[in-house]
Amino acid sequence: MGNCSNEANETIIEAKEKEIQNQIKLDDFILLYPIGRGSFGRVWKVRSKKKEINIIDNNEGKNNKTNIFVLKEK
């Protein structure tokens, strides 16, 4: 009764595999120093091991390139 195409299932699986490969990991950063500590964990200033990451600033609507981030530890 339904449309159970193998091609559609393969496309979904490929998309999920790509999504998993593109996830950010802790190993992608160098921990510089802790900024603060709260009841849920520490907040770190980190530097990306990649050269630069392109970030879209929602407030200004323009692209910014940076390699410094804040990371919250659970």
DSSP 26: G
Show me where the domains of the chain are located.
Answer: 6-72
Q: What is the pLDDT of residues 54-70, one digit of tens each?
A: 666 666 655 566 788 88
Give the C-alpha separation, 72 to 74, whole Å. Answer: 7
Give the C-alpha separation, 52 to 74, whole Å. Answer: 25
Task: Calculate the average pLDDT of the chain.
Answer: 75
How much is the pTM?
0.55
